[in-house]
Amino acid sequence: MFLKSIKKVKVCLIFISTFISVFLITNFSFAAGDKISYPQKEWTFSGITGTFDRASQQRGLQVYKEVCSGCHGLRLLAYRNLKAIGYNDNEIKAFAAENTVNTIDDEGEVIERAARPSDKFVSPYPNQQSARAANGGAYPPDLSLIVKARSDGANYLHALLTGYVDAPSEKKVPDGMYYNKYYSGNLIGMPQPLYEDGVTYADGTKATPEQMAKDVTAFLAWASEPELEERKQTGIAVILFLLVLTLLSYFAMKKIWAPIKNRHV
């Protein structure tokens, strides 16, 4: 009788732990409401063993620099952080020095100096008002956290950048607004940023809008979560540790209960 109920508890525990593992591993989430759904792209950084594609990130940085940085800041990223995506100190120094920042000299005057690797990415506008004034009232948000800030962020960003189509005839598009099939409400204040060969990639990759959207998304996904690779590696180590621990506890339990199990009463 006693043994039987232990078995039942055991079966229950195994069932519950399997359920929890599947739940954690598949990153199961309960989607709510009816949202616009975006084409699901294959990202090297999704899944439990995901890592970033360095070449794609570097191309993405080029797209950000040559296209997006005219309107969008990236103020949470420092130039020296680019080391993580494969640039060396000299390259970072040169990259930073293309920008200027304000500083105060010994006489207390505001002067400009070239940006250093320790500076954060210089934003295109000094404040929100000037950003709005230059963009017909619409505010181009800082892109540092954009991939994390939107649900299904990477697919959303990719879809948004490639989602400019002709507006249906019954839809009025006011001046300074553009029609995008993936933007909520479809009218966006950002003109289409990506066109065929909009940049000339340093590594010779053909710069189609699709390619540029993928690359800039890979770069911005990293900017939003630079510790992603480390987090996933830790996760795998933790799961392996828990598996070993489960086995150990199972065999320890067997050994401890053996004398009682073998008592034929």
Q: Would you tell me which residues interact with ligand HEC (CB under 6 A)?
A: 63, 67-68, 70-72, 135, 138-141, 146, 150, 157, 160-161, 188-191, 193-194, 216
Query: In this chain, which residue has its C-beta nearest to ligand HEC?
Result: 68
CA distances from 193 to 31, 142, 166, 171, 212 (A): 30, 16, 15, 22, 10
Q: 131, 132, 135, 111: which is closest to 123 by C-alpha? A: 131
Q: Report whether 135 contacts 71 (CB < 8 A).
A: yes
CB of 43 to ligand HEC, least distance (A): 15
- Which positions ≥6 away from 242 have C-beta within 8 Å? none
- Of residues 64 and 117, the one with the C-beta less far from ligand HEC: 64
Per-position DSSP letters for 105-162, written without gaps between them: -TTS-EEEEE--TTSBPPPSSSSHHHHHHHTTT------TTHHHHSTTHHHHHHHHHT
The single residue listed with the structure tokens 């939107």 is 150
- Of residues 117 and 163, the one with the C-beta less far from ligand HEC: 163
The sign of the torsion formed by the CA atoms of 113, 117, 119, 124 equals positive
CB of 172 to ligand HEC, least distance (A): 16
CB of 85 to ligand HEC, least distance (A): 16
CB of 145 to ligand HEC, least distance (A): 11
For 174, the token pair is 């006011």
- Of residues 62 and 81, the one with the C-beta less far from ligand HEC: 62
- Of residues 115 and 188, the one with the C-beta less far from ligand HEC: 188
CB of 134 to ligand HEC, least distance (A): 8
For 200, the token pair is 């000339």
- Of residues 41 and 150, the one with the C-beta less far from ligand HEC: 150
The single residue listed with the structure tokens 């506008």 is 125
CB of 165 to ligand HEC, least distance (A): 16
- Of residues 92 and 190, the one with the C-beta less far from ligand HEC: 190
3-state percent breakdown (helix, strand, coil) of the chain, nearest 5: 50, 5, 45
